[in-house]
């Protein structure tokens, strides 16, 4: 990690701790903010947060590893979580899973080498009446078909590359 | 509000009518009304809401909390999603009534991480309520009543739906359930008296206050008063959320949703019971088959062992790992299911695993481990012919 990156992280965490009054009870919102911006909670971040809240870094580590939406390893820009629970399973999640693997070229639990996509299983998303369902970051997609999967992934891919800025302005 | 129909929650109600009645009745009057209604917790455990409120109201403490459990993670449940998306005002009104009744100034909505997309909508509803004098200081001109609600995001853990685990999570810890007693009503969030209720429970209370306990009791059975929201999914023609009276039979419910030819119905989600076709005359109520609202319909062609396997994979993943019966037990059950799948499980071994299930039901620390063997046990009991002696098929 570059010293300048580290300083940026340190500054962000200091601001977050300040915002929540260095109160240990706000550990989760702080971790969620770090996860969102840095796509993981690194060892350095855990140490900084622990210092800011006056607790042991192991406590931070134990919380990070407990929750499915927090991770110590870097995740992709887009985290795709496909629901594997019974109703989505019966609605045909296996075909969706296969198509996701084919489109992304990775298996479940993996991140693409360019760091853009992470593919994961998740438990019930609460979309059981409209399965199969998956989340892409915070957005939920329902009644998926293999073709729809391709369209969603293509849409995500458009957010990268040199043409992104013009495209964004055109919208 | 959305155009849904039902006897209680989806019935017509004037905005704030419940809150106004509560303020007129006073604190003891409000709690008495909720107690008389016989309302029980809609999350599935079925603890009487009025009793819970009364305990918190009489508990000593300067700071008290009203916590809304919107960590809806039970497989097959999505009614809270509908309530929060379409009836958020009703839920927040219910929380405000509870705050008034128990003497709390602070409310917290614990929203599961998977519902993050609802957050901006909910913040908007809260802001509008503050503007209209329904939250904040001196609510509806009542000088001694201040109450406000904040939203707290969960981060993807099923066990946080258990109330003490939820409180641990709110305090920034791992979501591991606490030993009880002390109960949250005396020592909950930050050691203060706290009530934790389900989204649906809060959505019911404005109706009870506005229309009276007797009106509420007219629906349902003697021991399970009122209605219930059912989240219906699986092999049926019309999946979705339905509000139906407590005490409805499984067969009647299936008729509503177009699932008459079902082979079995899972009632209460992964931690609930599997009811086979021959028992479709049983009723859905706290005294017969209880449910938090999850109804999963299995059509004639479904492999019930695959269903049991899906549930056990869920529990192996979601067990918090704190107590041994749950942490190890769920893995052992899953292994047994895999043996059954391959057709190499002796009945003697199966019986041992059933014994283990009984141990888990008694010895686990929280509701997760106590109820995780339910689905496996009921499927083994009712579908033995289909499950035993399978010939191994390489896939």
Q: What is the pTM of this model?
A: 0.94
Query: Structure tokens of B35?
Result: 């107690």
**CATH number of the domain located at residue range(s) B308-387 in this protein:** 1.20.1440.230
Residue A171 banded pLDDT, cuts 50, 70, 90 = very low
Percentage of residues in chain A with pLDDT exceeding 70? 94
Give dist(CA B138, CA A168) in Å, integer: 46
Query: Other C-beta atoms within 10 Å of B144: how many?
Result: 8
Q: Which residues does chain A have within 8 Å of residue B234's beta carbon, measured at their own beta carbons?
A: 86-87, 90, 128
Which CATH number is correct for B17-217, 3.30.465.10, 1.10.260.40, 3.40.50.11540, 3.40.50.300? 3.40.50.11540
Contact B316, B365 (CB under 8 A): no
The single-letter DSSP state of residue B380 is H
Query: Other C-beta atoms within 10 Å of A57: how many?
Result: 15
Q: How far is CA A148 from CA A90, A99, A102, A141, in A?
A: 18, 10, 13, 9
Query: Structure tokens of B291?
Result: 């449910």
Pick from A69, A89, A124: CB nearest B113: A69
pLDDT at B272 over 50: yes
Please list the residues that pair with B195 across neighbouring strands: B66
Q: Phi, psi at residue A31, to the nearest 5°?
A: -65, -40
Residue B2 banded pLDDT, cuts 50, 70, 90 = low
> What average pLDDT is seen over chain A?
92
List, for residues B343-352, the tens digit of each pLDDT value. Answer: 999 999 999 9
Pick from A32, A90, A129: CB nearest B78: A129
DSSP H or E segment with residue B230? strand B227-234
Q: Phi, psi at residue B248, to the nearest 5°?
A: -70, 145
Residue B393 banded pLDDT, cuts 50, 70, 90 = low
Give yes or no for B215 touching A (CB within 8 A): no
* Domain positions in chain B: 17-217, 227-298, 308-387
pLDDT of B345: 93
Q: Do B310 and A84 touch (CB under 8 A)?
A: yes
- B 348-377 → A contacts, CB under 8 A: none
pLDDT of B394: 47
Give dist(CA B195, CA B66) in Å, integer: 5
**A155-169, B44-58, B183-197: lowest mean pLDDT where?**
A155-169
pLDDT of B375: 95
Q: Which residues does chain B have within 8 Å of residue A125's beta carbon, measured at their own beta carbons?
A: 114
List, for residues B152-193, the tens digit of each pLDDT value. Answer: 999 999 999 999 999 999 999 999 999 989 999 999 999 999
Nearest C-alpha neighbor of B205 from the set B332, B50, B320: B50
pLDDT of A15: 96
pLDDT of B242: 96
Give dist(CA B139, CA B260) in Å, integer: 49
pLDDT of B1: 47
Give dist(CA B159, CA B71) in Å, integer: 9
DSSP-derived 3-state class of residue B171:
coil
Closest-CA residue of A relative to B171 is A25
* Domain spanning B227-298, CATH architecture: Roll (3.10)
Average pLDDT for B130-139: 95
pLDDT at B96 over 80: yes
Nearest C-alpha neighbor of B52 from the set B78, B34, B79: B34
- B 169-198 → A contacts, CB under 8 A: 169-175, 190
b/e map B64-88, b = 16+ CB within 10 Å: bbbbbbbbbbbbbbbbbbbbbeebb
pLDDT at B392 over 90: no
pLDDT of A170: 53
Give yes or no for A118 touching B (CB within 8 A): no
List of residues 6+ apart from B108 with CB closer than 8 A: B65, B66, B67, B68, B149, B150, B151, B152, B170, B189
Average pLDDT for A2-27: 94
List of residues 6+ apart from B181 with CB closer than 8 A: none
Give the neighbor-by-neighbor strand order of the sheet with A139-141: A110-111, A117-122, A78-83, A134-136, A139-141
pLDDT of B173: 96
List of residues 6+ apart from B218 with CB closer than 8 A: none
List, for residues B250-271, the tens digit of each pLDDT value. Answer: 999 999 999 999 999 999 999 9
């Amino acid at each position: 990690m570059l010293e300048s990156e580290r300083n940026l992280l340190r500054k962000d965490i200091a601001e977050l701790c300040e915002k929540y009054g260095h109160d240990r009870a706000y550990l989760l919102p702080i971790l969620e903010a770090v996860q969102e911006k840095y796509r993981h909670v690194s060892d350095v971040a855990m140490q900084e947060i622990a210092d800011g809240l006056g607790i042991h870094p192991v406590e931070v580590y134990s919380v990070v590893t407990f929750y499915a939406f927090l991770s110590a390893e870097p995740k992709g820009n887009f985290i795709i979580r496909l629901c594997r629970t019974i109703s989505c399973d019966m609605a045909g999640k296996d075909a969706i899973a296969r198509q996701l693997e084919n489109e992304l070229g990775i298996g479940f639990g993996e991140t693409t080498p360019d760091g853009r996509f992470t593919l994961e299983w998740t438990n019930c998303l609460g979309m059981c009446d409209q399965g199969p369902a998956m989340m892409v970051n915070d957005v939920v997609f329902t009644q998926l078909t293999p073709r729809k999967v391709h369209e969603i992934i293509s849409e995500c891919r458009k957010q990268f590359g040199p043409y992104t800025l013009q495209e964004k302005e055109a919208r | 509000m959305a155009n849904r129909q039902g006897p209680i929650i989806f019935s017509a109600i004037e905005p704030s009518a419940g809150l106004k009645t509560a303020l007129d009745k006073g604190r003891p009057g409000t709690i008495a009304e909720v107690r008389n209604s016989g309302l029980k917790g809609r999350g599935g455990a079925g603890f009487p809401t009025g009793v819970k409120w009364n305990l918190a109201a009489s508990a000593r403490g300067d700071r008290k909390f009203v916590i809304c459990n919107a960590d809806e993670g039970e497989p097959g449940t999505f009614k809270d999603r509908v309530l929060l998306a379409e009836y958020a005002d009703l839920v927040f009104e219910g929380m405000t009534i509870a705050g008034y009744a128990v003497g709390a100034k602070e409310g917290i909505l614990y929203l599961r991480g998977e519902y993050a997309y609802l957050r901006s909508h909910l913040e908007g509803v809260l802001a509008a309520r503050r503007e209209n004098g329904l939250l904040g200081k001196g609510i509806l001109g009542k000088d001694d009543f201040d109450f406000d609600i904040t939203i707290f995001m969960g981060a993807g853990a099923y066990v946080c739906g258990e109330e003490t685990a939820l409180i641990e999570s709110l305090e920034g810890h791992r979501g591991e359930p606490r030993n009880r007693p002390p109960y949250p009503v005396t020592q909950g969030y930050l050691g203060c008296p706290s009530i934790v209720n389900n989204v649906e429970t809060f959505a019911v209370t404005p109706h009870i206050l506005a229309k009276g306990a007797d009106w509420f009791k007219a629906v349902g059975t003697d021991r399970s008063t009122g209605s219930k929201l059912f989240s219906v999914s699986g092999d049926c023609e019309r999946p979705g959320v339905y509000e139906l009276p407590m005490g409805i039979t499984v067969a009647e419910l299936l008729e509503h949703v177009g699932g008459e030819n079902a082979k079995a119905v899972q009632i209460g989600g992964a931690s609930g019971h599997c009811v086979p076709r021959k028992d479709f005359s049983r009723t859905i109520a706290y005294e017969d088959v209880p449910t938090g609202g999850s109804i999963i319909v299995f059509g004639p062609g479904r492999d019930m062992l695959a269903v049991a396997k899906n549930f056990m994979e869920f529990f192996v993943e979601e067990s918090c790992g704190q107590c041994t019966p749950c942490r190890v037990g769920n893995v052992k059950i899953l292994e047994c299911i895999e043996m059954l799948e391959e057709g190499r499980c002796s009945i003697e071994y199966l019986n041992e695993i059933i014994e283990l299930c009984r141990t888990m039901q008694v010895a686990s620390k929280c509701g997760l481990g106590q109820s995780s063997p339910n689905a496996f046990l009921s499927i083994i009991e009712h579908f033995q012919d289909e499950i035993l002696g399978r010939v191994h098929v390489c896939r």
